[in-house]
Structure 1
């Protein structure tokens, strides 16, 4: 199994990777590789994590101009594709059409011995892809829906295809799992167990969304959508900050009404509901995985009084943070 990326404009091979036939040896090992990207191919990184039947890759890339690369692969794969930020377009005779992803979209793709070209658009490109061996993926594929059955037939006939003709919107639950995948700091077999569980959970959410024919389309203008997502990103990166709705709205160039309405429409929750849930999820992770005490965690997520943090945590999880070690979630 070989994947090649090359720049046809200068006749340069950028990457050639050889993978075992079932995506990596069946010995329980987990392999990782981080590539630092430099101009003219952008500034950023591309991180690969792989183990039996699963290949996870994600990257953050800053682009000054459109980047065009050609690709070739001699194997089959089912790809869970998540466009977190930026735009890309793939042209291949395998599909007979251009497959384009914009920010905040996802889909599942079956690719059979692909070749063609990819165009990437900046200024910032954030993507996450999970490639599964087709035989492994089919074990999870329901057999009672037209879309799923059509996709199964495409895999069996080795015809490249999208599971859903229309891309769906990345939900808030999916964002949390994507962040967990990208920020997992476990090692060895524990990391593999954790990642396998997260991949399965993410696949479940994708299939449920497809089954319910929920593309999560928005009535918001594109420019307002981008502002709402900018607020979500700000909150995720500044959990200890203290801002009013009006201040958040002004940061991204909108008003309080648009922010409240748009956030609820896109994510199904309020701005401060999301902020609180994200704080509590991070606090839970730190309580379980770090040696930080309650006062330190409280301070890190923006609570000046540890007692207020403990009360909020108990309201969320029905257990005091001091008792986390004696009660599993």
Structure 2
């Protein structure tokens, strides 16, 4: 079943310059409700906190004149986005980040039965982008040409970093009001923007390659998928070298394939797996720090402590001492 949102009120909500604006749409026949709250971070940055509760499998179509760089983080159930401007259709999973440069949006969101979604989106306008974003890219002409032709450009889609997920949830659930709330939202939003711009610039530089494009056949792709599954689900903590041997794919193809297929690196996923494993072991109270360090593959306890503290923002000694976890 499909349903189109074409309300003038929705367009007014998107484009208005009110400091805080709320919008709600009840879908007929008790199919669900969609709510959104807009807050202005600064003149060229808008934040949208959107939630939906849908009772039946449904495709909601909409058109809006939202314009700029959109940084969206999905905080709850999976949905499918379609974009008619570039003929794309993608699954937007929980804890994923999607960054698009758009001049208008004409597409749909496909919800499954009894779906509850929650997402945060920062929309950044061109004057801010001219100052801080475009100079860091190599393909600005293509980006702007697509924009002028009302073709959306997907810049990044991947699992959000641990830091970005925390920041997005803090933005969505701000505990403050008034001027303190404004300051709180600005600090968190700027941190996300800085982190994502930096990541995009780094990827942009790494994608400059004078060598011939590496091709991945079906066996390579299966090996890459197996490698990702091993990292995330196996009890063993893999090194890149071990993982390469396990899936019979050389390290160069493994690293490049992760960027091409999953928009991340095997090292990032290995670190995530190590830290989560360490957290679980420490939380049992059955292991000391030296034992956990060895189990998750660190030769030196100090190296483990530094990595753990940087990842979780808490020292493992304090975690053991307090037995209180804020992850």
TM-score (norm 1): 0.57
The answer to whether the aligner puts 1:65 opposite 2:56 as a matched pair is yes
Shift of 1:181: 0.7
Shift of 1:81: 1.8
Q: Deviations over 1:147-203 (max 9, x none)?
A: 455434544x35332252x52221111111111111212212222222122222112
Question: CA separation of 1:152/1:189 partners in 2, compared to 1, >3 Å: closer, same or farther?
Answer: farther
Decide whether the 8 Å contact of 1:78 with 1:133 is kept in 2: yes
Question: How far apart are the structure 2 equivalents of 1:281 and 1:41?
Answer: 42
Partner of 2:108: 117
Where does 1:90-239 land on structure 2 (aligned, <5 Å)? 90-92=82-84, 94-121=85-112, 123-148=115-140, 150-155=142-147, 157=148, 159-164=150-155, 167-213=157-203, 219=224
Question: How far apart are the structure 2 equivalents of 1:86 and 1:221?
Answer: 22
Decide whether the 8 Å contact of 1:147 with 1:163 is kept in 2: no
Shift of 1:86: 0.3
Shift of 1:80: 0.9
Partner of 2:22: 33
Question: CA separation of 1:12/1:182 partners in 2, compared to 1, >3 Å: closer, same or farther?
Answer: closer
Decide whether the 8 Å contact of 1:91 with 1:118 is kept in 2: no
Decide whether the 8 Å contact of 1:105 with 1:167 is kept in 2: yes
Decide whether the 8 Å contact of 1:148 with 1:163 is kept in 2: no
Structure 1: 5+ residue runs without aligned partners? 1-5, 229-253, 283-300, 314-329
Shift of 1:143: 1.4
TM-score (norm 2): 0.57
Question: How far apart are the structure 1 equivalents of 2:164 and 2:88?
Answer: 27
Question: CA separation of 1:267/1:220 partners in 2, compared to 1, >3 Å: closer, same or farther?
Answer: farther
Q: Deviations over 1:267-316 (max 9, x none)?
A: 3751266688699869xxxxxxxxxxxxxxxxxx998xxxx349x99xxx
Decide whether the 8 Å contact of 2:11 with 2:65 is kept in 1: no
Where does 1:7-86 land on structure 2 (aligned, <5 Å)? 7-8=3-4, 16-19=10-13, 24=17, 30-33=19-22, 35=24, 40-42=30-32, 46-51=35-40, 52-84=43-75, 85-86=77-78
Structure 2: 5+ residue runs without aligned partners? 207-220, 244-265, 281-307
Aligned residue among 271, 276, 286 for 1:271: 276
Q: Look up the SS of the partner of 2:166 in the other structure.
A: helix
Aligned length: 248
Question: How far apart are the structure 2 equivalents of 1:102 and 1:95?
Answer: 20
